[in-house]
Amino acid sequence: MPSEPRASRRRKPGLLVVLALVLAAVWLANALVPPPAHVGRTGGALRPAPDRPNWVASFSDEPARRVEPFRFTGDAAAALARVKAAALAAGGRLRTETPDHLHFTFTTPLLRFVDDVEFVLDAPAQVIHVRSASRVGHGDLGANRRRVAAIRAAWGR
């Protein structure tokens, strides 16, 4: 039985090295992405969502992007404080806070993508609107919808 040539028996780290470099590049690029232009408010409402399908929002007219706002009765400030606590419990990092607006960032576990989640209080309507949007990429594989659902579940307790 002929033996393998010595060169072919050597380990080739090519695939692992390429994978590590790609992951490092994705992480670095994501870490350097500033908050997108759609973060924040204009005229008391959240700014329009990005032109990619990687977000969900309570103010969306698109069924695929729509989630329900957080409805409350009673004290509006207490309701917003409950949303804040729920988002923190879900792993959010509070970036900005005003009496009627919260901005959090969430980081995905594996590739460390940063997503922005905002809440804006509409006290007269007794709702807190929400938008969860990925900073990079085209799709989100349902991550933003699941995140809002997790915050809602924690908020409802």
Query: Could you tell me the CATH number of the domain that includes residue 115?
Result: 3.30.310.80
**DSSP assignment string, 53-67:** S-EEETT-SSTTTB-
Q: Report pLDDT for 127.
A: 96
pLDDT at 124: 96
Q: Give the rounded distance of the alpha carbon of 2 from its chain centre.
A: 56
pLDDT given at position 5? 58
> What distance in Å separates the CA atoms of residue 153 and residue 8, rounded to the nearest whole number?
55
* Structural domain boundaries enclosing 37: 6-156
Tell me whether residue 105 is in a domain. yes
For residue 45 the two structure tokens come to: 């409402």
pLDDT at residue 72, as a whole number: 96
* Cα-based torsion angle of the residue sequence 41, 90, 32, 27 in order, rounded to the nearest 10 degrees: -150
Question: Which among 143, 157, 57 has a CA at the least distance from the CA of 106?
Answer: 143
Q: How many domains does the chain contain in total?
A: 1
Question: Is there a domain that residue 1 lies in?
Answer: no
Measured CA to CA, the distance from residue 148 to residue 118 in angstroms comes to: 10
Is 23 part of a structural domain of the chain?
A: yes
68 in any annotated domain: yes
**Tokens encoding 12:** 């080739």
The type of residue at 18 is V
- What pLDDT, on the 0 to 100 scale, is given for residue 134? 86
Quick one: pLDDT at residue 28?
63
Model pTM score? 0.77
Q: Is 153 helix (H, G, I), strand (E, B) or coil?
A: helix
Report yes or no: 64 and 53 within 8 Å, Cβ to Cβ: yes
| Inside any domain, residue 39 | yes
pLDDT score recorded for residue 29: 59
- By CB neighbour count within 10 A (0-12 exposed, 13-18 middle, 19+ buried), where does 83 fall? buried
pLDDT per residue rounded down to tens, the chain (157 residues): 555 555 555 555 677 777 677 666 666 655 665 666 667 666 767 777 777 888 999 988 889 899 999 999 999 999 999 999 999 999 999 999 999 999 999 987 777 788 899 999 999 999 999 999 988 777 778 889 999 999 999 998 5
pLDDT of residue 84: 98
> Residue 83 gets which letter from DSSP?
H
Q: Is residue 19 part of a domain?
A: yes
